[in-house]
């Protein structure tokens, strides 16, 4: 090996490696160049291995030359890596740049909406909670006894038939479960599990075979129940009047109680509220028209007996209101079926902001 040839080989190799380093487009390509040049079996490393076979005179010349080559290649690779890292960072800064002067995107609490049914349930709960009522709940699937028999529905009553009630298949013992047609079974559960005095409201889903503009197979209802030794119709009237004033947010209401029939109350009444229908909207608390809003009455003695209570000692009253219709009436929604169609546009129009919780102090419908 001659001095000129070896030095020429080093110059050629350095030129090739330098060109490869400059051509590396990213850190991965640069790493390939590093391995091929100064890796364990790289071109520069292979030349370094030839030092052991050289004469002392050749090593004096080639040793510094090869070490210098390795040092210059290492420095060039490090410089190129720094340049690539800076270029990558600059590209990220350009591509991921955020204009902080733009308005903040709305979050879930501003985009999300509370369904009107949930809003009305919260409003009703706030009103009756202020009167000292607790909330009671029960299952959607009930027995015939709790849904009908214990509530004084006689055998053969039309409400037991298939055109009104969703029945499940008959069991081996002959019992048929059903989807509750009202939340009244929770009244029975409450009276059988609690000692009077009882003051509860019962919001929940109910099911009946019906579907049109003002009826759906599944709808929401809230019932109220008061059981003690002294409750009477005067208390019932006051509670319903105060509820209507608070819920519809009017200073006064006109109410009339008409005789009616429900198997679980005696006497039974339907309640109308005064309104004005002269314009495009129904205005409550004014005018000479009437609108039916709920049914109520004194709890039937047979119902008390079915719950293990002595009707000669205890008495009380109950009422039931359609939550969906209350929402339609208060917030001007023309079609009940839209409540259950999951249309985001409808919900954005009629829904409520999630942090605007109804309260009697801050206002029910802000």
DSSP string, 190-224: HHHHSPSPEEEEEEEEEE-S--BTTB-SEEEEEEE
CA distance 53 to 6: 13
- The per-residue pLDDT for 2 is 39
Q: Render pLDDT for 71-127 as a digit per residue (tens, 0 to 9).
A: 888 888 888 888 888 888 888 888 888 777 878 777 776 778 888 899 999 999 999
Joined together, the tokens standing for residue 309 give 């209570």
SS3 (DSSP) at 144: helix
DSSP string, 245-302: HHHHT-S---EEEEEEEETTEEEEEEEEEEEE-SSSS-EETSSSEEEEEEEEEEEPHH
Q: Render pLDDT for 18-70 as a digit per residue (tens, 0 to 9).
A: 888 888 888 888 888 888 888 878 887 777 777 778 778 777 777 787 778 78
Q: How many angstroms separate the Cα of 175 from the Cα of each of 166, 170, 183, 221, 343?
A: 14, 6, 20, 26, 39
Q: Can you give the pTM of this predicted structure?
A: 0.67
Please state, rounded to an integer, the average pLDDT across all residues of the chain: 85
Q: Render pLDDT for 114-163 as a digit per residue (tens, 0 to 9).
A: 888 999 999 999 999 999 999 999 999 999 999 999 999 888 877 676 55
Q: Render pLDDT for 183-226 as a digit per residue (tens, 0 to 9).
A: 999 999 999 999 999 999 999 999 988 766 566 788 899 999 99
Contacts of 122 (CB under 8 A, 6+ apart): 114, 357, 358
Pairing of strands 134-135, 198-207: parallel
- The per-residue pLDDT for 5 is 40
Choose the weakest-confidence range: 99-103, 289-293, 343-347.
99-103
């Amino acid at each position: 090996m001659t001095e000129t040839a070896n030095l020429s080989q080093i110059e050629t190799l350095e030129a090739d490696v330098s060109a490869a380093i400059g051509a590396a487009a990213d850190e991965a390509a640069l790493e390939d160049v590093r391995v091929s040049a100064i890796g364990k079996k790289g071109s520069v490393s292979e030349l370094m291995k030839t030092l052991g076979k050289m004469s002392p005179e050749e090593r004096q010349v080639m040793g510094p030359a090869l070490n210098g080559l390795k040092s210059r290649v290492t420095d060039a690779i490090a410089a190129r890596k720094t340049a690539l890292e800076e270029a990558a960072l600059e590209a990220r800064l350009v591509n991921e740049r955020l204009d902080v002067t733009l308005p903040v995107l709305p979050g879930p609490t501003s985009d999300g909406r509370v369904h009107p049914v949930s809003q009305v349930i919260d409003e009703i709960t706030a009103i009756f909670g202020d009167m000292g009522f607790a909330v009671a709940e029960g299952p959607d699937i009930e027995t015939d006894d709790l849904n009908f028999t214990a509530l004084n529905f006689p055998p053969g009553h039309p409400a037991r038939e298939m055109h009104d009630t969703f029945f499940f298949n008959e069991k081996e013992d002959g019992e048929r479960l059903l989807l509750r047609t009202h939340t009244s079974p929770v009244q029975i559960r409450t009276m059988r599990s609690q000692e009077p005095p009882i003051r509860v409201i019962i919001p929940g889903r109910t099911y009946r075979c019906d579907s049109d503009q003002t009826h759906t197979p599944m709808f929401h209802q809230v019932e109220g129940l008061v059981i003690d030794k002294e409750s009477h119709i005067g208390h019932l009237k006051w509670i319903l009047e105060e509820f209507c004033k608070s819920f519809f947010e009017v200073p006064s209401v006109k109410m009339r109680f008409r005789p009616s029939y429900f198997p679980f109350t005696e006497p039974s009444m339907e309640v109308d509220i005064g309104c004005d229908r002269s314009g495009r909207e129904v205005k409550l608390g004014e005018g000479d028209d009437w609108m039916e809003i709920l049914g109520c009455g004194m709890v039937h003695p047979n119902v008390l007996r079915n719950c293990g209570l002595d009707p000669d000692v205890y008495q009380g009253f109950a009422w039931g209101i359609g939550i969906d219709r209350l929402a339609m009436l208060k917030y001007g929604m023309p079609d009940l079926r839209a409540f259950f169609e999951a249309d985001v546009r409808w919900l954005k129009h009629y829904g409520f902001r999630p942090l605007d919780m109804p309260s009697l102090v801050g206002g029910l419908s802000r």
